[in-house]
Amino acid sequence: MDLKTILILIIGIILSSCEPEDNLKTNYIFEMTGRCPQDNNGYYHLNIDPLENQQTLHRFGAYVTNIDIWNIPTQVVWNCDTFWSYEFQNGNNMNVPIVNGTSFADPMVDSIFCMMAPVGSMIGDTVLISGKAVFEEGDIILYDSFQVIFE
């Protein structure tokens, strides 16, 4: 065999022994839950304090793979387009989101949690809460959402 053939064989062996990048990725889980009663149509139902500006604190969350292949805790960014307005004594208003913005998973538990705080004036409203789970420093992103009716 000549040197060119040997080099081609060596390069072929090296390339065939490498794992494709896709084999490194794990099947990650991200399934949100409202943590309150759910009806047959998939809507969650949360009883809230009927006083107009009184917040009701409720913890919701998701079943999630808690760490990725790099041993980084999973980050979830939560979103809801529903706000309530707070009026300061000086007449200024501030819109307050009803969900916290982000959470990190506990490395020991395959769950992640977030707080919501709707107010009594939202009774009868149906809101969409969504989440984005980030794995492998942003290379893998999973989405989920649920709807909740305030009663």
Average pLDDT over residues 92-120: 94
What is the residue-averaged pLDDT of the chain? 89
Q: Which pLDDT does position 20 carry in this prediction?
A: 46
Q: Which pLDDT does position 16 carry in this prediction?
A: 57
For residue 139, give every residue at least 6 positions away whose Cβ sits within 8 Å of its Cβ, in sequence order, or none.
25
Has this prediction a pTM greater than 0.85? Answer: no
Whether domain 22-150 has CATH 2.60.40.10: the reply is: yes
Adjacent-strand bridge partners of 130: 79, 145
What is the C-alpha separation between 33 and 82, in angstroms, rounded?
18
Residue 9 clears pLDDT 70, i.e. is over it: no
Adjacent-strand bridge partners of 70: none
Average pLDDT over residues 136-149: 94
Q: What is the dihedral of CA 62, 65, 70, 76, to 10 degrees?
A: -10
Distance set, CA 60 to CA 9, 38, 97, 140, 142 (Å): 57, 13, 15, 23, 17
- Share above pLDDT 90 across residues of the chain, in percent, rounded to a whole number: 68
What is the C-alpha separation between 150 and 119, in angstroms, rounded?
9
Min mean pLDDT across 1-5, 41-45, 96-100, 127-131 is at: 1-5
- Share above pLDDT 70 across residues of the chain, in percent, rounded to a whole number: 83
Identify whether the C-beta of residue 148 lies closer than 8 Å to the C-beta of residue 124: no
Residue 98 clears pLDDT 80, i.e. is over it: yes
Residue 48 three-state SS? coil
